[in-house]
Amino acid sequence: MIEKIYGSHYSPAQVSNISKQMIPKVEAYHKRKLSDKFFCVYLDATYIPLRRETFEREAVYIAIGIKPNGHKEVIDYCIAPNENIEVWTELLQRMKSRGLAQVELFLSDSVVGMKAPVAKTYPQAHFQRCLVHVMRNICAKVRVEEREAIMNEPKQVHQESNKQEGITVLHSFYSKWQKAYKHVIQNVKDLEADLLVFITIRNRSEVQSIQLT
């Protein structure tokens, strides 16, 4: 991959030496002082192949923040054998201990128990279920020929101007697909409150912005 991108070949020994030189920088990155405020923080994990004693896939936990001015930043990350709530709890606590005192909104997938450590570490923050992950789960449980039609409808939720309009979009979606996919629709209904948080936060922020100007 490096040879294709940069036109240079690096031996395993050279890659190892480069990695060793990066270790102090990585350690400094994990200890740096964080901004005290982010409007939104995305929490997600992805599995990648890592070389330990054997080649295995391990979970990389990533927290990506958006500041009030729109600037994005990888706040922190960590690596563990698999995704579990204990690791997320430790990551959140480290973020707060390093200076991140205030977050308006956290977004995450359906990892079990995520809301509890978020509420404990940042009690003033709101929690939004990631619509992309919800749509992926829907996609995996419906017929191929109906995926495009089904996937396009939930996308409209966050384009609406207020919470009631978002609810109307979801309820129309329920009515249309309830008969064909009863269990899928019930799963989405169970998440409804967590899917509409962003609209409320966005509208409140817009009002505050108008008042400030």
Asked if the model's pLDDT at residue 76 lies above 60, the reply is yes
Q: What is the pLDDT of residues 94-153, one digit of tens each?
A: 999 999 999 999 999 867 788 899 999 999 999 999 888 888 888 889 999 998 888 888
pLDDT at 211: 37
Check whether 210 has a pLDDT greater than 70: no
Tokens linked to 156: 């409209």
Determine the angle formed by the axes of helices 182-190 and 131-139, rounding to 10 degrees: 170
pLDDT at 106: 95
d(CA 206, CA 208): 5
pLDDT: is 211 or 65 the higher one? 65
Rounded Cα gap, residues 29 and 103, in angstroms: 20
C-alpha angle 18-44-46 in degrees, rounded to nearest 5: 50
Q: In the chain, where are the structural domains located?
A: 32-129, 132-195
**Among residues 31, 95, 38, 28, which one has the least CA distance to residue 61?**
95
pTM of the prediction? Answer: 0.81
The rounded distance, in Å, linking the Cα atoms of 98 and 63 is 14
Would you state the structure tokens that stand for residue 114, as one six-digit string? 């995520």
pLDDT of residue 150: 85
Query: What pLDDT shows up at residue 205?
Result: 57
The C-alpha atoms of residue 166 and residue 3 are separated, in whole angstroms, by: 49
> Which residue has better confidence, 23 or 54?
23
Give backbone dihedrals phi and psi of 50, rounded to 5 degrees, phi first. Answer: -130, 145
